[in-house]
Amino acid sequence: MSKLSTEHLLGIKYISTEDVETILSTAKTFKEVINRPIKKVPSLREVTVANLFFENSTRTRLSFELAEKRLSADVVNFSASGSSVSKGETLTDTVNNILAMKVDMVVMRHPNPGAAVFLARALKKYPKSAHARIINAGDGTHEHPTQALLDAFSLQQQFGSLKGLNVLIVGDIVHSRVALSNIYCLKKLGANVKLCGPPTLMPKYIETLGVEVEYDLRKALEWCDAANVLRIQLERQDIKYFPSLREYSLLYGVNDEILDSLKKQITILHPGPINRGVEITGSVADGNHSLILEQVENGVAVRMAVLYLLAGVPNA
């Protein structure tokens, strides 16, 4: 029985504001746990989790595995490379076979948008797999819900509340699952959201989500309290969206020069991996106003909260 009003975490779009708030307040407890000398609790002792990564990952994969181990779950890891996917096995067959080994929860990263929603629907048809909880660890250009939750948690820790906070998301918006999940999450928590990036990297109907668009980076930075800087996702671009990385960096790169010229200090976030010298300079990423490594630390606590709440185990 999930302790949230949802069985799965497929995207921030599909969960209530109350569920977002429950996850963030539970993450606070788990952040205390992971800062103790003994970082492990027995909460998911009876639970087995499979981490299925059909696309590369460093932070999300390790962070989920650590979160599961800190909660005392049994963990199995699957990467598409080296698996029977190369022999043509479908996603549903792959997951049904893993679940037949008595797995309770599936954390899945997949290159195709909608893969997590598809899987949750497909498994309903199989009585032996219908019990499984699905957590979307990033599906193509669609959503990356735990990234948005950890970003919101990091902002909450920094600013106390997100109500009325001005948050800028800058960069490759059109290819970014982080942008979409952040927009849903920030809006649910009462933040004001503005987007900035080249017009070619801005989805046409994005303003229907209740966000503003500003194409001038200086004006956008002047407006915000915090800026979430996104990577140019060259792996998702089969055509050219801007003349060169150098020109992108000149117009949309966040560097000391532009930040020092503002009338205020702003907080910097980045989901990683960073293209140093493209969307952000090394000195900004490593600087005093950067929350980047806080985000990574908070990712473990937030993922512990998601796993614990979805598993719905009676004892904490």
Name the site residues for ligand CP (rule: CB under 6 A). 57-60, 138, 144, 147, 271-273
Ordered alpha helix ranges (H), 11-90: 17-34, 59-70
Sign of CA dihedral 227, 232, 237, 241: positive
* Spatial distance between the Cα atoms of 75 and 47, rounded to a whole number of angstroms: 9
When the beta carbons of 51 and 267 are compared against ligand CP, the nearer one is 51
User: Minimum distance from CB of 159 to ligand CP (Å)?
Assistant: 21
The distance in angstroms from the start CA to the end CA of the chain is: 14
Question: Do residues 65 and 107 lie in contact, with contact meaning Cβ atoms separated by under 8 Å?
Answer: no
- Report residue 191 CA to chain centroid gap: 17
Distance in Å, CB of 24 to ligand CP, minimum: 18
Coil vs helix vs strand at 224: coil
Closest CA to 193 of 217, 221, 213: 213
The residue number whose beta carbon is nearest to ligand CP equals 60
Nearer to ligand CP, 147 or 281 (CB): 147
**Shortest Å distance, C-beta 178 to ligand CP:** 7
Q: Residue 216 Cβ, how far from ligand CP at the closest point, in Å?
A: 27
Minimum Å distance from CB 239 to ligand CP? Answer: 23
Give the residue numbers annotated as catalytic, written as ranges. 59-60, 87, 109, 144
What is the 3-class SS of 97-155, one letter each residue? HHHCCCCCEEEEEECCCCHHHHHHHHHHCCCCCCCCEEEEEEECCCCCHHHHHHHHHHH
